[in-house]
Amino acid sequence: MTTNTACSSAEPVNPPSGRKPNLRQRILVVEDDAAIRRVNSEVLTYSGYQVDTAEDGAAAWEALQRRNYDLVVTDNHMPRMTGIELIMKLHVARLALPVIMATGSSPAEHITRFNPLQPAKVLLKPYTFHELLASVKEVLQETNACLGETAPPANWLVQPQDNRLQP
């Protein structure tokens, strides 16, 4: 797992319009594997987050045009648009939106070549529910600190077992 902890970037970016502190933070889960998408969504919803899902990067981009999100959790290798391509679109659109890359293979080659595209965190599959929730909480807290927001974390009612999500 890697973390990008920088609050500022070389270029100014625009936060999603109308962004305000949010008691129930909204997350977009982007995953082409329906079972993993469903489980991630259920775990995050049960933990107090508002969750929408998309089956690939293209569907995620459409969702991002319709609604504001606090975080995107995306796979990389997907049909129509990869996770890296989605991050590229966010960068080009100058949207300041943290991304967790939850993938079966490290996108290090793309990240090295295109440093501004580095996700806030990379979560390698298979990962546990606890690792997913801890990553989400960490990235959202870092983002809120960078933006000067004081939104409380989601309810952490889930006591995940060591169930690993497989690619």
pLDDT attached to residue 12:
34
* Within-domain flag for 143: yes
Instruction: Report pLDDT digits (tens) over 79-106.
Output: 999 998 999 999 899 888 999 998 887 6
At 18, is the pLDDT very low, low, confident or very high (cuts 50, 70, 90)? very low
Tell whether the model's pLDDT for residue 24 goes beyond 60: yes
The predicted pLDDT at position 99 comes to: 94
Count of domains observed in the chain: 1
Residue 6 located in a structural domain: no
Select the more confidently predicted residue: 11 or 114.
114
- List C-alpha distances in Å: 130 to 13, 89, 108, 110, 137: 31, 29, 24, 27, 10
- Assess if residue 156 is contained within a domain: no
Q: What is the pLDDT of residue 148?
A: 60
- 35 lies in some domain: yes
Dig out the tokens for 6 from the structure.
Answer: 């920088």
pLDDT tens digits along 38-70: 999 999 999 999 999 999 999 999 999 999 999
Residue 157 is assigned to a structural domain of this protein:
no
Residue 68 belongs to some domain of the structure: yes
User: 30 and 56 in contact (C-beta within 8 Å)?
Assistant: yes
DSSP annotation string for 138-166: HHHHHHHHHHT--PPPPP------SPEEP
Residue 166 has pLDDT above 60, yes or no: no
pLDDT computed for residue 104 by the predictor = 80
Q: End-to-end alpha-carbon separation of the chain, Å?
A: 16
Distance from C-alpha of 64 to C-alpha of 42, rounded to nearest angstrom? 20
Question: Does residue 112 belong to any structural domain of this protein?
Answer: yes
Q: What is the CATH number of the domain that holds 57?
A: 3.40.50.2300
In a domain, 16, yes or no: no
Segments forming the whole domain that contains residue 38:
27-149
Mean pLDDT rounded to a whole number for the chain: 77
Task: Summarize pLDDT for 137-163 with one digit per residue, the tens.
Answer: 999 998 877 766 544 444 444 444 445
Across residues 107-125, what is the average pLDDT? 70
Region 121-141 average pLDDT: 93
